[in-house]
Amino acid sequence: MPDAAILAPQWIAPVAPQATVLSGHAVLVEDGRIAELAPLDALRERHPDAALTPLPGHLLVPGFVNLHTHAAMSLLRGVADDLPLQDWLRARIWPLEGKLVSPSFVRDGALLAAYEMLLGGTTCFNDMYFFPEEAVDAALQLGMRSAHGIIVIEFPSAYASDAGDYLRKGLELRDRHRGNPMVSFCLAPHAPYTVSDETLKRVAVLARELGLPIHTHVHETADEIAESLARHGKRPLERLDALGLVGPELIAVHAVHLDETDLRLLAASGASVAHCPHSNLKLASGIAPAARLAELGIRVGFGTDGSASNNRLDLLQEARTAALLAKGTSGRADAWPAARVLQAMTLDAAAALGLDDRIGSIEPGKQADLVAVDLSAAELSPVFDPVSQLVYAAGREHVQHVWVDGRHVVRKRQLVCADASEAVGELVGRSSLWHNRIREILSG
């Protein structure tokens, strides 16, 4: 994008400072930032030399933020379908990962995932996986913003030998990218059932010292809670709280099985929830109480989880399902209205990652992470409320343009950068090799 450019869609949903839809307005982008949001005629008069991009029939929204995924697992899409979580993990996923996980596996899988997410309007994703340096590189290659979990787990892997080794390698990676505005980090203990008290205490201390979010799976299944009560005499959230992990920095992933005490604890602490409805439904883990979370003012963002349990990295689909489940389970049609859903996809997820001062809304001073969705298609006509149309009717195929940090990275559903496009093209061949290797492992 030139130093100054004007994006002129038919509608703009800025998300903040208030939920509204503007028409006849445009966005001035300068040096990667949103410089102005104002009526189009006024912007053209003040900035006659700025390049104009007309977007008739399009809704411009902030870039979507995927609050929880395992990007590299795109190479495992479809290998463990129709299994409950513990069977899915212990009988299929963990054995496969033990034989497959390597830097090349993570890089190829993350690149596939980043491409899929980017074309669906996701401009930032929060990842948790082994060899995170490879996922960092994949995101940067496609021009995406990303947050990466400093993963912590007690058992050894090809990536690290023990909890201390995981932490050391993750913190070293963070130090290497500290000056890169496109990359951020979270502390990511895998789950209470795979991480010891001693390690969790260390994570809590590091989170406070370094100002990092804590990103962890919690209360995903009823069995997880029963096991925690048997082993520790506490529900998982209660145990995390006693160890110092429940606070405004916590991103509680899944948070399906919550009683009123759990809900009150999350609300009082200022914690966030990464709601992954499709993964939870597919694994028969349950349905998170999203309507009650909203009632209590608990911040919620949406996550896709990984492709092995979803099987799409499609945040628009995730958001629509989340809204419908909230209405259906609460018996309230006004639960999670469309504007609230868009806020969860953007500003609230950014806030959970500590990035809401930079992304998540179309406000002057923020980075220009933007998505233009074409609502002019016959199947989306007529348009009475553009945000409603986005949430309840549109699909990722209607995402036409994506900008990240002011750079036009997707134009008319095609990658703009030739090097990125070439990398994705080469990846198709390599994914066939991974497919053959995985089939051999499954049949052997």
For residue 332, what is the DSSP state? -
pLDDT tier, 356 (very low <50, low <70, confident <90, very high otherwise): very high
pLDDT tier, 3 (very low <50, low <70, confident <90, very high otherwise): confident
Instruction: Flag whether 184 is in a domain.
Output: yes
Q: Find the domain containing 405 and state its range.
A: 4-61+371-412
Residue 118 has pLDDT above 70, yes or no: yes
3 state DSSP class of 359: coil
pLDDT exceeding 70 applies to what percent of the chain? 100
CATH of the domain at 16: 2.30.40.10
Instruction: Flag whether 82 is in a domain.
Output: yes
The pLDDT tens digits for 83-111 are 988 899 889 999 999 999 999 999 999 99
Instruction: Flag whether 17 is in a domain.
Output: yes
Could you tell me which of 266, 292, 312, 332 has the C-alpha nearest to residue 115? 312
Q: What is the DSSP string of 361-415?
A: S--TTSB--EEEEE--SGGG-S-S-HHHHHHHT--GGGEEEEEETTEEEEETTEE
Instruction: Flag whether 384 is in a domain.
Output: yes
Residues 313 and 329 in one domain: yes
Residues 184 and 171 in one domain: yes
User: How many domains in the chain?
Assistant: 2
| pLDDT at residue 190 in the model | 97
The pLDDT tens digits for 244-278 are 999 999 999 999 999 999 999 999 999 999 999 99
Residues 131 and 205 in one domain: yes
| pLDDT at residue 259 in the model | 98
Residues 132 and 243 in one domain: yes
CA distances from 32 to 22, 42, 219, 238 (A): 22, 21, 39, 43
Residues 254 and 117 in one domain: yes
Instruction: Flag whether 365 is in a domain.
Output: no
Mean pLDDT, residues 41-59: 97
Cβ neighbors of 326 (< 8 A, separation 6 or more) are 290, 291, 294, 335, 336
CATH of the domain at 189: 3.20.20.140
Nearest 5°: phi and psi at 176? -70, -25
Residues 210 and 74 in one domain: yes
Residues 92 and 152 in one domain: yes
Residues 9 and 147 in one domain: no
Could you tell me which of 310, 321, 283 has the C-alpha nearest to residue 78? 310
Residues 232 and 326 in one domain: yes
Residues 40 and 158 in one domain: no
Residues 117 and 250 in one domain: yes
Q: What is the DSSP string of 97-150?
A: HHHH-SHHHHHHHHHHHHHHHHHTTEEEEEE--SSHHHHHHHHHHTT-EEEEEE
- Residue 70, token pair as written in the block: 């395992």
Residue 2 has pLDDT above 90, yes or no: no
Residues 76 and 56 in one domain: no
How would you class 229 by CB atoms within 10 Å of its CB: exposed for 0-12, middle for 13-18, buried for 19 or more? middle
